[in-house]
Structure 1
Amino acid sequence: MSEYKTLAADGMWDNNPALVQLLGLCPLLAVTATVINGLGLGLATLAVLVGSNVTVSLVRNIVRNEIRIPIFVMVIASFVTIIQLLMNAFTYELYLALGIFIPLIVTNCAIIGRAEAFASKNGVLPAAFDGVMMGLGFTVVLMLLGGMRELLGAGTLLSGADRLFGPVAQNWTITVYVTEHPFLLAILPPGAFIGMGLLIAAKNAIDQRLTARQTKQQKQVTRIRVTAEN
C-alpha cells in the first residue's frame, strides 16, 4: 500500500508531470482556453498513459533493450490513434477544437518517460496505477489552467460542455459575470504562460510552507526528547 500511496502522491503533487517535470507543456498551453478543452485533452492523455503503461509492462520481458524506445513509441502511437478515432466518432466538435494536439500526444514526453522509467520495470497493476495518477495529475492542471483562463477571459465556466458530454450538458455553462469585451490576455496564448507560471508559483509556495512546518515540528519533537532525557 505504501508503494501505491507514493505513486498517488507523485502523480498528483510531488512529481506532477506539468507542475514539476514540466512535460507536455505545448498542448497544455495551447488548448486550455476553457475547462472542457482541458478536460477533453486530459482524459485523452490519461487513457493513452494507462493503455501504454499496461502494454509496455506486459511486453517488457520480451522486448530487446536496443529497440525498446521505438517499440514504446509504436505502442503509444497505437493508443493515440484509437483515442483519436473514438473522439472523431463520438465527440466530433471537441475533436475539431483540440485539432492537431490530439495526435501530438504521441510526442508527449510525460507518456514516453513513464513508459521508460516505470512501466518497463514494474508489473501491470503498479504500471496501470502509475498511469492513472500521472494522467489525473496532468488533467487537473489542464482543468485549473483552463478554468482560470475561461473565467478571467469570458466570465464563464464549463462553456461548451455539450461537446464532451453530449446534449445533456447544454445548460451546464456557469456565467459568473457578463462582459461585452472579453479579456483577451487571458484567452490568448500569453495568458496561458502567465497562468501556468502562477500555478507553479502557488505549488512552490505551498511546498515551502509544508517544509517549514515539518521542520518546525521536527525541532519541537527533538526538544521534547532532549528535555525528557535530561
Structure 2
Amino acid sequence: MSNYRTIISQGMWNNNIVIGQSLALCPLLAVTSSATNGLGLGLATTAVMVAANVLVSMAKVIISKAVRIPVNIIIIATLVTMIDAILNAWLHPLHKVLGLFIPLIVTNCAILGRVESFASRNPVLPSCVDGLSMGLGFTWVLVALGGLREVIGSGTLFSNASLLLGEHFAFLEMTVIPDYRGVLLVILPPGGFLILGVMLGIKQKLTLMDKERQRADDVVAGGNV
C-alpha cells in the first residue's frame, strides 16, 4: 500500500505533469478559459493515460525493445482516435470547443513518458494506478486553472457545463460574482500564463515549507536520540 500511496502522491502533487514537470502547457493554456473545458480535456487525457498504461504493461512481454517506442505511440494514437470519435459522437459541443487539442493528446510527451518509464517496467495494477493518478493530477490543475481564469475573467464557474458535458453536469454551473464586468486579460492566453505562474509559485513555496518541516523534525529526532 505504501508503494501505491507513493505513486498517487507523485501523480497528484510531487511529480504532477504541470506543476511538477511543466509539461503539456500548450493545451493547458489554450483550453482553460473555463473550468468546463479543462474538465473535458482532463478526463479525456486521463482515459487515454489509464488505457495506454494498462495495454503497454500487458503487452511488454511480447514487444521487442527495438520497436517498443513506435508500438507505444501506435497504441496511444489508437486510443486518442477512439476518444476523439466518442466525443464527436456523444459530446459534440465539447468536441468543437476542444478542437485540435484532442488529437494532439498523441503528442503529449507526459503520456509517452509514463508509458515508457513506468508501464513498460511494472505490472498492470501499479501501471493503472500510475496512469489514473497522473491523469487526475493533470485534470485538477486544468480545472483549477480554468476555474480561476473563469471566475476572475467573467464571474462564473463551469459555465455551459450542461451544454458541453451533458445535462447531468448542469448542477456545476454557477454565477460566483453577479453583475460582474469581468477582466478580459485573464481569459486571454497572457492571463493563463499569469495564473499558472502563481500556481507554480504556490507549489514551490509549499514544497520548500515541507522540506524545512522535515528537516526540523529530523533535527528534533536526532536530538532525542
Moved more, 54-63 or 178-187: 178-187
Work out the CA distance in 1 between the residues paired with 2:49 and 2:169: 27
Q: Which amino acid in structure 2 is aligned with residue 156 of structure 1?
A: T
Provide closer, same or farther for how the CA distance between residues 171 and 52 of structure 1 changes in structure 2, counting only shifts above 3 A.
closer
Alpha-carbon RMSD:
1.2
Query: Would you say the 8 A contact 1:154–1:179 is kept in 2?
Result: no
Work out the CA distance in 2 between the residues paired with 1:61 and 1:222: 46
Cα drift, residue 179 of structure 1: 4.5
Work out the CA distance in 2 between the residues paired with 1:112 and 1:174: 36
Q: Which amino acid in structure 1 is aligned with residue 74 of structure 2?
A: M
Provide closer, same or farther for how the CA distance between residues 63 and 167 of structure 1 changes in structure 2, counting only shifts above 3 A.
same
Work out the CA distance in 1 between the residues paired with 2:128 and 2:118: 10
Matched with 2:218 is 218
Cα drift, residue 39 of structure 1: 0.4
Structure 1 residue runs without a partner (length 5+): 226-230
Query: Would you say the 8 A contact 1:92–1:163 is kept in 2?
Result: no
Cα drift, residue 167 of structure 1: 2.5
Provide closer, same or farther for how the CA distance between residues 152 and 73 of structure 1 changes in structure 2, counting only shifts above 3 A.
same
Provide closer, same or farther for how the CA distance between residues 167 and 26 of structure 1 changes in structure 2, counting only shifts above 3 A.
same
Query: Would you say the 8 A contact 1:36–1:161 is kept in 2?
Result: yes
| Equivalent pairs, count | 225
Residue 156 of structure 1 pairs with residue 148 of structure 2: no
Matched with 1:228 is none
Matched with 1:88 is 88
Matched with 1:33 is 33
Cα drift, residue 23 of structure 1: 1.3
Cα drift, residue 96 of structure 1: 0.4
Query: Would you say the 8 A contact 2:155–2:177 is kept in 1?
Result: yes
Cα drift, residue 176 of structure 1: 1.6
Matched with 1:114 is 114
Query: Would you say the 8 A contact 2:50–2:131 is kept in 1?
Result: yes
TM-score by length of 1: 0.94
Matched with 1:15 is 15
Cα drift, residue 173 of structure 1: 1.9
Work out the CA distance in 2 between the residues paired with 1:35 and 1:141: 10
Cα drift, residue 171 of structure 1: 5.7
Q: Which amino acid in structure 2 is aligned with residue 160 of structure 1?
A: N
Query: Would you say the 8 A contact 2:73–2:112 is kept in 1?
Result: yes
Provide closer, same or farther for how the CA distance between residues 161 and 126 of structure 1 changes in structure 2, counting only shifts above 3 A.
same
1:105 aligned counterpart, secondary structure: helix
Provide closer, same or farther for how the CA distance between residues 131 and 154 of structure 1 changes in structure 2, counting only shifts above 3 A.
same
Which consecutive aligned stretches of 4+ in structure 1 deviate over 4 angstroms post-superposition?
Answer: none
Matched with 1:204 is 204
Query: Would you say the 8 A contact 2:155–2:180 is kept in 1?
Result: no
Matched with 2:44 is 44
Structure 2 residue runs without a partner (length 5+): none
2:211 aligned counterpart, secondary structure: helix
Per-residue deviation, residues 15-63 of structure 1 (Å, max 9, x unmatched): 1111111111110111001111000000000000011111111111111
TM-score by length of 2: 0.96
Q: Which amino acid in structure 1 is aligned with residue 40 of structure 2?
A: G
Residue 54 of structure 1 pairs with residue 54 of structure 2: yes
Q: Which has the larger radius of gyration?
A: 1
Q: Which amino acid in structure 1 is aligned with residue 199 of structure 2?
A: L
Work out the CA distance in 1 between the residues paired with 2:102 and 2:179: 31
